[in-house]
Each structure stands twice: as structure tokens, then as C-alpha cells.
Chains A and B, each alone.
Chain A
Amino acid sequence: MSKEIESHRFLDFAYQLYKTMKTNEINLVYEGEVTQEITKTFTSLTERNMAKSEESNQVQRKVFNVMVECLQNISKHADTLSEDEEDRRGIVMVSRGEDSYKIITGNVIRNAKIPGLKESLEHINSLDKKGLSSLYKQQIVESKISEKGGAGLGLIDIAKKTGSKLSYQFKELNDDVSFFILTSTIKRN
């Protein structure tokens, strides 16, 4: 393939991406290492964008809260594609629709961990507000902070604060790992 065609294709891709982002009102897309610094940068960026758009304070706070939990989940729990990779990587997308914000995160997960995670997600999705509150209290009392500093409370917290079901998917990549996609929805009114 000639260099010219290749560069043309890239420009075409960049334009398509731009268009898709515009039509779907995607404010932020990121793929890469997720660290505390990245978390802080994205949350403050999103906060600034929302403040400009005059989003209600309540919604702004919820989007901020959910982003932190989603990103810290990746930085603490994401697995890697191969043994020699060390970074905890993931994708992050924030979109603003007419009725809601969506925060979509994706990361690699070991297949062995999927049944346990699925069970937690299903359990959380089966509970109403009151049920989530009791589960949260129970977990906070029982769970000792794991060595990574997480308390396994992130998903319950997201469900509580958004008042929406957690939407998720697992795409198998190979016998060892899958790609886990979590979509959190925050209603705008």
C-alpha cells in the first residue's frame, strides 16, 4: 500500500471518529494506562465541561462520583493481556445524551474471575434502593480492605448513586482473558 493511501485512510478514520463522537455526544475517549493521575485529570476535565454546560450540581456530583469509582476499579483490578505487561489499562468513554450521561469503561479480566463478578453484578441489579443500602452497610462492616485498598464496594456504590441498573458485557478474547465493559447511566433530571 502506498504511503499516500495509508495516510488518507488514517485521516478518514480520524474524521469518522470525530463524526461519531459528535453525533453521539461523546465528551471523552481514552485508551491507555489508568492511574490516580489520569483519574484526577479526567474527573476535573469532566467537571469543567459540565460546569460550562450548566448541568445541575446534583448531576455533576453524581457523574464525578461514578467516574472516580469506575476509574479506580480499573486502576486496582484490571488484568493484563500478557504476563509481561504491567500497566493497568482500560478504555473510558463519557457521553452526554438528551436524558442521561453514560460512563463506559472497559478492561481486560481473567476468565477465572468472571463467574464471581457476574454473580455480584446480578445480585446488585436485583436489589432496590433499600436493598442496596443494606448490602452496602453489610459489606462495609464485614469486608476488610484488600491489600489493594479496595473494599469491593465500588459497584454497589455506583448502583446506589445512579439509581440505574449496571449494564455489562464480557467479550472473550482468548482462553485466558476477556474484555469487560461496564456502562453506568446517570439520569439528567
Chain B
Amino acid sequence: MDVINIQGTDDTPNVILDKASGQFEISGRSLPEDVNMFYEPILDWIDQYSEDANDHTEFSFKLEYFNTASSKVILDILLKFEEIVENGKEVVIKWHYHEDEEDMLEAGEEYADIVEIPFDYVLYTD
């Protein structure tokens, strides 16, 4: 499968999706003007991945900030992984949050309430 490796900018996140090495990560800032355009290839990739997912997937979110338009797309990503879980594969979401960013921890907990995937919360400092 192709590898997605997108370098972040000041309004779009870094994205690494690599089935072979088992690296799945979205990090940085996500406040693009056109959320759908940015995330479309990512959602497509995940659709393809779900057809033959690894037995174990560890997906990392290490976001410093995301706007509300991105929050909906993040849910879409999580729902796709929920399906993978329903198909009998193991998925863990590693939700990173900065020690100064309680809001980011809460955001993770809210997603964990909505989707049936185990979340691990990982605190980080500067």
C-alpha cells in the first residue's frame, strides 16, 4: 500500500500513514480553510486500509490545536477505525495532549465517549 507522508504547515497537520511499518500519526495544527479537500486523500487511504487492515493498529493523534471544522473529520477517521474494530481487528488510539492543554484531553475523552475504540491518553511536555 502507498505511504502517505504529508509535511505540516502552520494550518495543516503532519500526516504519516504507513501500513508496512505500522506508523499512523496525525500531529501539529489542523485549521485548514478547506477541511474536506485536505482530508479527502486521508479518508480514502483509510478506506483502502480497512479492507486489509493490520491485526493491530496504533493510531496517534498528537495535535496542538484543531478547529471545529476539523473536529468533524477527526470523528470520521475514528468511525472508520471503529469499523475495523468491528471486523475483529485490534485498534488503539494514542491521544497525546500537552500538559498545558486540558482542552485537548477533554476533546479526546469526548471522542472516546462517541466511538467504541480504546483510547490511551499520553501526556507530553515541551
Interface, chain A (partner B; CB < 8 A): 36, 39-40, 44, 56-58, 61-62, 64-65, 68-69, 72, 75, 133, 136-137, 140-141, 143, 145, 149-151, 153-154, 156-157, 160-161
Identify the closest chain B residue to A57 (Cβ): B100
Q: Which residues of A contact B11 (CB under 8 A)?
A: 36, 40
Identify the closest chain A residue to B68 (Cβ): A153
Contact string against A for B residues 104-123, beta-carbon threshold 8 Å, 1 for contact and 0 otherwise: 00100010011000000000
Identify the closest chain B residue to A158 (Cβ): B68
Q: Can you add 16 more A-B contacts, CB < 8 Å, to A150-B69, A153-B68?
A: A39-B31, A40-B10, A44-B10, A65-B65, A68-B67, A69-B67, A72-B67, A133-B106, A136-B110, A137-B113, A137-B114, A145-B36, A149-B36, A153-B71, A154-B68, A160-B103
**Which one, B34, B71, B100, B114, contacts A151 given CB within 8 A?**
B71
Bound-state CA distance A40–B35 (Å) is 15
Bound-state CA distance A4–B98 (Å) is 57
Give chain B interface residues in 3-56, CB to chain A under 8 Å. Answer: 10-11, 31-36
A140 touches B71 (CB 8 A): yes
Q: Which residues of B contact A141 (CB under 8 A)?
A: 75, 114
B86 interface residue (CB < 8 Å to A) = no
A141 to chain B, nearest CB (A): 6
Given A137-B110, A140-B75, A141-B114, residue A61 in contact with residue B65 (CB < 8 A): yes
Bound-state CA distance A42–B7 (Å) is 23
A44 to chain B, nearest CB (A): 7
Q: How large is the interface on B (under 10, 10 to 19, 20 to 34, 35 or more residues)?
A: 20 to 34
A140 touches B72 (CB 8 A): yes
Interface of A (DSSP majority class)? helix
What would be 6 A-B contacts, judged by CB atoms less than 8 Å apart? A44-B10, A69-B67, A72-B31, A137-B113, A145-B69, A149-B35
Interface of B (DSSP majority class)? helix
Q: Which residues of B contact A68 (CB under 8 A)?
A: 31, 65, 67
Bound-state CA distance A160–B106 (Å) is 10
Q: Which residues of A contact B32 (CB under 8 A)?
A: 36
Given A137-B114, A145-B35, A149-B34, residue A72 in contact with residue B69 (CB < 8 A): yes
A161 touches B103 (CB 8 A): yes
B69 touches A133 (CB 8 A): no
B75 touches A61 (CB 8 A): no
B113 touches A69 (CB 8 A): no
B101 interface residue (CB < 8 Å to A) = yes
B100 touches A61 (CB 8 A): yes
Q: Which residues of B contact A154 (CB under 8 A)?
A: 68
